[in-house]
Amino acid sequence: MAELLLEIRSEEIPARMQARAADDLKRLVSDGLKAAGLAFAGARAFATPRRLTLVIDGLPAARADVSEERRGPRVGAPDNAIQGFLKGAGLSSLDQAEKRDTGKGEFWFAVIRKKGGPTADVLPGVIEAAMKALPWPKSMKWGSGTLQWVRPLQGIIALFEGKALSGRVEPGGKMAPVVFGNTTRGHRFLSRGEITVTGFADYEAKLAAAHVVLDPAARRKTILEGAHRLAQEAQVALKDDEGLVEEVTGLVEWPVPLLGTIDAQFMDVPPEVLIVSMKTHLRQFVTTRPDGTLANRFVVVANTIARDGGKTIVEGNERVLRARLSDAKFFWDQDRKVRLEDRVAALKGVVFHAKLGTQAERVQRIAALATAVADCVPGAAKAEVMMAAELCKADLVSGMVGEFPELQGIMGRYYALHEKLPAAVADAIGDHYAPAGPNDRCPSAPVSMAVALADKLDALTSFWSIGEKPTGSRDPYALRRAALGVIRIVVENKLRLPLSRFFKQADLLDFFAERLKVQMRDKGVRHDVIDAVFALGGEDDLVRLLARVEALQSFLGTEAGKNLLTAYGRAANIVRAEERKDKTLAARIAGAPDVALLELGEEKAVASALAEVERTVKPALQKEDFAGAMQALAGLRAPIDAFFDKVTVNVQDKPDLRLNRLKLLNQIRATMDAVAAFSKIEG
Amino acid sequence: MSKPAKPQCFQDLILTLQEYWAGQGCLILQPYDMEMGAGTFHTATTLRALGPKPWYAAYVQPSRRPADGRYGENPNRLQHYYQFQAILKPSPTDILERYLGSLAAIGIDTGLHDIRFVEDDWESPTLGAWGLGWEVWCDSMEITQFTYFQGVGGMEVDMVAGEVTYGLERLAMYLFDKKTVYELPFNSPTSEVPLLYGDVFLQNEQEQSAYNFEHADTDMLFRHFVDAEKECARMLQLELPLPAYEQCIKASHTFNLLDARRVISVTERQSYILRVRDLAKACCEAWLATQRTPTQPSPSGGGQGGGA
């Protein structure tokens, strides 16, 4: 059993693409091997910034010959059928095929013999095909070539049983081919010259000696352990940041965590500002003190062993951070000299959208909406809602948000606290953009909820009014996110907010319904249950709507629910079938059946059960006791079953009786449909 | 006169980079004599990146970003600054090694510093240009933008140019350990008349910021934009892509000034960018047509006259 080692070396691969590319390479080569009839014991893939590596164990050294039979058309079949068969089987004429009697007549058969042979003959083709198929999120050409790869290719190791395979990749143009070989290079700065390898174990060991840690998991471990140790030694704690670890792992071949210090003069700048600078802009790890507040140390992961032990690198990082933070501190100091209230006027100069006016106009709309919304938010003091709404966009014209747009809202909150405005107002300014997505934190304080809802409702209604609605993948104003934000705030805080009080556009309510459906589907609610409740229409209270969905879903999970659904189906099917035959029927069977025409006990039983249900369901629905309403419906099941056992609906000679019975069935349907559109439920 | 081993001042940095890239076979060109937002606008990059002909060049380009003016009060933000740009087409296979050689030349020792390549794809909406590459970080500071051009003027390139762009002021502040750009030694501190960057440019930043933000005549600028647009179209009619492209550069800078004056709304902004892009696209197409014709018109006789 033999080993295949493949290394595709290139200029620096973007960190975010490495893991996926290694997986794709493994999958594509594995599939190629299987398609070529080559079994193997295992495959492992690795990525560093400069290479994708794949090792496959347990491949056979050679494949046996295989023959495959293919049945063709009947002897004497039309010529195009014969030609198709020959082409498909790779034959040039019928002389190469044989006739065989299958018992159902004479058919042409082709016997295709696939020559076996050394595995090494097949592998180059498998590798080339996998490279061609590898789906980089973005790829490029280079030099005078036409080949696409994530960054320029530099070399390929393709070793089978320790010997280089015969193969090459042509970049095209006037570029030299990249020939399969057995050499690679180590770390960009810590290694010189070529490294010749004989197999994976040798390769991995020689790379390690050349300062390349091949396995991302091992780099990650070094980063985390080193960073935690450095933090511990400085008596601070590393702030966990999965995304940053992942990214940094893809930026280094030889990780060297180093500890730096934040200049003391910046420590009174809000932590969010420091974090944005360190993490987002410089990929530095933040640390915290035992009380959870930001510590004055950071960890940076270098990609080299410096002669001075990293002193220059740390100083450089501190210097870059200092430059960034001195900008930030300048803004922090300057911004606090101007009250938020005094910034509001400047919003007149900031265009929100050409057709929707300035941010100042938007703020006025938000303020009006927020006070109206506040009526539906228990505990939201109007004066505070008003103040927060009027100030919520003021930080957009502050220096800090100009420089760090991702701090909008957050800075407004700090400036409000600095001015000693009520905490609820400051928090509402800070919270009003939330939630920014399905996993973002959702506001729960009353003033925050009112302003956050108003912010989103204004965006939705305003863009709706100028015809800017999301279509397909185009949603430039993030209106889907805004609608989802409204849904989350309302649902998670159980707010009773009649949406149609805040806008008149009917299709906007449909848009909310659509978003809510998507959200519920993602949470695993049955789509037919959702449809059954939404089909009732006209519901603009999301909490009530969801309560009904939940009640229906759990009712349908019970025996009583399932049986009732069957009974409903029988009734509805008969009515539907008759309605199809006679277009005038629907109008004639609307309304209650004539009691005088009820003949049989089973009919009367259904009628009285319906009357009973009518009595209990209505008040239950009014009390929003949906579970109760559904329990009441369950009482219909036994009389309906008995009815179908004994009563013939379509009595031929008595049209009045037939019509009355259809009325009865139709009433079953109508009564149940008032609770949910049971016809939408899949049995 | 021999240059010191490592640059000691701003102009040394420029001279060192020029000498280094000249040694790599690059033409050393001079700045384009028009206002532009970045070195990429120079015909030596935008136009030469198109077509099948090889092209190695390097040059300094004064770059104007009117909205970045800070009246000389921000230590590292300027409305007028210098980019050094090298463009190698087709990109040689050892282009990154050559680039790293330039870092060694300006005194960045990779035995002491941490150099990392961080994904950063580049796009110029106004030029309809895009490419893939990196920000090059030295000890977490971005010192270079490295781009493999994939398209210009909305068209895919025939041959890929590797573009290396150094922001000179920022790089110099790092090399010479200065907290503010205005304290950078422009020439050698030991020269007869030692001058700082601030001596040369502080007043310019103050006055030009006032112009960009307060005084630029926006009615005039709107007219200039339309005029440039028209002139560009007229030159294209006459099949003169180079004069046409200059009008495109003019329109782009005029737009940047209007943007700094905040007289263009968010949505209008997009439409102005698209208008400049349409000009750039048309100029690039016209230029490309001249590059693919097998014979170039031979220069007519006559000496070079003096300027006006």
Residue B123 belongs to some domain of the structure: yes
**Which range is least confidently modeled, A289-298, A567-576, B194-203?**
A567-576
Among chain B residues, the shortest Cα distance to A12 is held by: B117
A464-487, pLDDT tens digit by residue?
999 989 988 788 888 999 999 999
Residue B1 belongs to some domain of the structure: no
User: In chain B, which residues have their Cβ closer than 8 Å to the Cβ of A145?
Assistant: 160
User: In chain B, which residues have their Cβ closer than 8 Å to the Cβ of A325?
Assistant: none
Which contacts qualify for A96-100: CB closer than 8 Å, 24 or more apart? A97/A72, A99/A75
Higher pLDDT residue, A575 or B247? B247
The residue-averaged pLDDT of A275-297 equals 94
Phi, psi torsion values for A183, nearest 5 degrees: -125, 150
pLDDT of residue B77: 87
Instruction: Take residue B166 and report the two structure tokens written for it.
Output: 């150094």
Please list, residue by residue across A421-437, b when 16 or more beta carbons sit within 10 angstroms of its beta carbon and e when fewer do: bbebbbbbbbbbbbbee
What are the beta bridge partners of residue B57?
B27, B87
Q: What is the CATH number of domain A341-541?
A: 1.10.3210
pLDDT of residue B266: 61
pLDDT band with cut points at 50, 70 and 90 for residue A94? confident
User: In chain B, which residues have their Cβ closer than 8 Å to the Cβ of A316?
Assistant: 113-114, 138-141, 174
Q: Minimal Cα–Cα distance from A281 to chain B, Å?
A: 9
Among chain B residues, the shortest Cα distance to A316 is held by: B139
pLDDT of residue A10: 98
Q: Minimal Cα–Cα distance from A502 to chain B, Å?
A: 27
B153 and B280 share one domain: no
B191 and B279 share one domain: no
| Angle value at C-alpha B35, between B31 and B38, nearest 5 degrees | 70
User: In chain A, which residues have their Cβ closer than 8 Å to the Cβ of B74?
Assistant: 327, 330
Q: Is residue A228 within 8 Å of A248, Cβ to Cβ?
A: no
Strand blocks (E) in chain B: 27-28, 55-64, 80-89, 115-119, 122-124, 129-138, 141-152, 155-156, 162-167
pLDDT band with cut points at 50, 70 and 90 for residue A510? confident
Distance CA A318, CA A312 (A): 10
Question: Tell me, what DSSP letter sits at residue B296?
Answer: P
Residue B98 belongs to some domain of the structure: yes
For chain A, helix (H) and strand (E) counts, in that order, are 26, 20
Give one word for B259, left, alpha or beta, with left for phi > 0 and alpha for psi -120 to 50.
alpha
B176 and B245 share one domain: no
A355 in B contact zone (CB under 8 Å): yes
Whether residue A314 is predicted with pLDDT greater than 90 in this model: the reply is: yes
Hey, are the CB atoms on B90 and A303 less than 8 Å from each other?
Answer: no
Q: Minimal Cα–Cα distance from B80 to chain A, Å?
A: 19
Q: Beta-carbon neighbour count of residue A467 at 10 Å?
A: 7
Q: How many CB pairs under 8 A join A and B?
A: 121
B85 and B23 share one domain: yes
Hey, are the CB atoms on A140 and B75 less than 8 Å from each other?
Answer: no
Q: In terms of pTM, does the model score above 0.95?
A: no
A186-234, pLDDT tens digit by residue?
999 999 999 999 999 999 999 999 999 999 999 999 999 999 999 999 9
Mean pLDDT in chain A?
92
Residue type for B98, please? R
Strand blocks (E) in A429-584: none
The residue out of B183, B212, B241 marking a domain boundary is B212
Q: Is residue A409 within 8 Å of A429, Cβ to Cβ?
A: yes
pLDDT band with cut points at 50, 70 and 90 for residue A361? very high
Residue type for B193, please? V
B276 and B199 share one domain: no
Distance CA B32, CA B39 (A): 9
Window A:4-23, CB contacts with B under 8 Å: 11-12, 14-16
Which residue, among A9, A10, A11, would best test binding to B if mutated, counting the most B CBs under 10 Å from its CB? A11
Q: Which of A145, A251, A304 sits opposite B118 (nearest CB)?
A: A251
Residues in chain B, total: 308
Q: What total number of domains does chain B contain? A: 2
pLDDT band with cut points at 50, 70 and 90 for residue A28? very high
Whether residue A286 is predicted with pLDDT greater than 90 in this model: the reply is: yes
Hey, are the CB atoms on B91 and A175 less than 8 Å from each other?
Answer: no
pLDDT band with cut points at 50, 70 and 90 for residue A95? confident
Distance CA A395, CA B215 (A): 26
Hey, are the CB atoms on A143 and B160 less than 8 Å from each other?
Answer: yes
Q: Minimal Cα–Cα distance from B52 to chain A, Å?
A: 9
Residues 6+ apart with CB under 8 A from B305: none
| Angle value at C-alpha A45, between A39 and A51, nearest 5 degrees | 130
pLDDT of residue B306: 44
Beta pairing class for A168-169 and A178-181: antiparallel
The residue-averaged pLDDT of A440-462 equals 95
Closest among A478, A484, A218, A495 to A353, alpha carbons compared: A478
Q: Which residue has the tokens 């422009």?
A: B186
CA-CA-CA-CA torsion for A513, A517, A523, A528, nearest 10 degrees? 130
Residue type for B255, please? F
Cis peptide before A435 (omega within 30 of 0): yes
Please list, residue by residue across B209-232, b when 16 or more beta carbons sit within 10 angstroms of its beta carbon and e when fewer do: bebbbeebeeeebeebbeebbebb
Among chain B residues, the shortest Cα distance to A355 is held by: B267
Which residue, among A10, A142, A322, would best test binding to B if mutated, counting the most B CBs under 10 Å from its CB? A142
Beta pairing class for A163-164 and A106-114: unpaired
CATH architecture type of domain A558-680: Orthogonal Bundle (1.10)
Whether residue A318 is predicted with pLDDT greater than 80 in this model: the reply is: yes
Hey, are the CB atoms on A144 and B266 less than 8 Å from each other?
Answer: no
pLDDT of residue A488: 94
Structural domain for B99, as ranges: 10-212
User: In chain A, which residues have their Cβ closer than 8 Å to the Cβ of B92?
Assistant: 143
pLDDT of residue B267: 59
B296 in A contact zone (CB under 8 Å): no
In order, the DSSP letters of B166-197 are EEHHHHHHHHTT-SSGGGSBSS-TTSSS--BH
Return the CATH number at B237: 1.20.58.180
Q: Which of A16, A308, A320 sits opposite B112 (nearest CB)?
A: A308
User: In chain B, which residues have their Cβ closer than 8 Å to the Cβ of A151?
Assistant: 132, 148
B83 and B133 share one domain: yes
Residue B308 belongs to some domain of the structure: no
A3-12, pLDDT tens digit by residue?
999 999 999 9
Which residue, among A140, A253, A326, would best test binding to B if mutated, counting the most B CBs under 10 Å from its CB? A140
Task: With H, G, I as helix, E, B as strand and everything else as coil, classify residue B70.
Answer: coil
B62 and B129 share one domain: yes
Instruction: Take residue B122 and report the two structure tokens written for it.
Output: 């580049």
B231 and B204 share one domain: no
Residue B154 belongs to some domain of the structure: yes
Q: What is the pLDDT along chain B (308 residues), one digit of tens a residue?
A: 444 478 999 999 999 999 999 999 999 999 999 999 999 999 999 999 999 999 999 999 999 999 999 899 888 889 999 999 999 999 999 999 999 999 999 999 999 999 999 999 999 999 999 999 999 999 999 999 999 999 999 999 999 999 999 999 999 999 998 989 999 999 999 999 999 999 999 999 999 999 999 999 999 999 999 999 999 999 999 999 999 999 999 999 999 999 998 888 665 787 899 999 999 999 999 999 998 765 554 444 444 444 44
Which residue, among B136, B140, B144, B271, would best test binding to A if mutated, counting the most A CBs under 10 Å from its CB? B140
Q: What angle do helix axes A359-374 and A382-391 make, rounded to 10 degrees? A: 160
For A434-476, the three-class secondary structure string (H helix, E strand, C coil) is CCCCCCCCCCCCHHHHHHHHHHHHHHHHHHHHCCCCCECCECC
Among chain A residues, the shortest Cα distance to B136 is held by: A12
Residue B299 belongs to some domain of the structure: no
Q: Is residue B257 within 8 Å of B209, Cβ to Cβ?
A: no
H/E element, A291: none
Beta pairing class for A163-164 and A2-10: unpaired
pLDDT band with cut points at 50, 70 and 90 for residue A524? confident
B44 and B75 share one domain: yes
Distance CA A665, CA A678 (A): 14
Hey, are the CB atoms on A320 and B92 less than 8 Å from each other?
Answer: no
Hey, are the CB atoms on A354 and B116 less than 8 Å from each other?
Answer: no
Q: Which of A138, A313, A351 sits opposite B114 (nearest CB)?
A: A313
Return the CATH number at B87: 3.30.930.10
Q: Beta-carbon neighbour count of residue A393 at 10 Å?
A: 26
Whether residue A589 is predicted with pLDDT greater than 90 in this model: the reply is: no
Task: With H, G, I as helix, E, B as strand and everything else as coil, classify residue B34.
Answer: coil
B188 in A contact zone (CB under 8 Å): no
Q: Is residue B86 within 8 Å of B57, Cβ to Cβ?
A: yes
The rounded Cα B174 to chain-centroid distance in angstroms is 20
A361 in B contact zone (CB under 8 Å): no
Q: Is residue B6 within 8 Å of B106, Cβ to Cβ?
A: yes
B128 and B244 share one domain: no
B37 and B133 share one domain: yes
Closest among A34, A223, A251 to A130, alpha carbons compared: A34
pLDDT band with cut points at 50, 70 and 90 for residue A76? confident
Residue B101 belongs to some domain of the structure: yes
Window B:64-83, CB contacts with A under 8 Å: 74-76
For A238-255, the three-class secondary structure string (H helix, E strand, C coil) is ECCCHHHHHHHHCCCCCC
A252 in B contact zone (CB under 8 Å): yes
The residue out of B177, B194, B212 marking a domain boundary is B212
Whether residue A328 is predicted with pLDDT greater than 90 in this model: the reply is: no
A125 in B contact zone (CB under 8 Å): no
Residue B300 belongs to some domain of the structure: no
Distance CA A289, CA A410 (A): 22
Among chain A residues, the shortest Cα distance to B156 is held by: A141
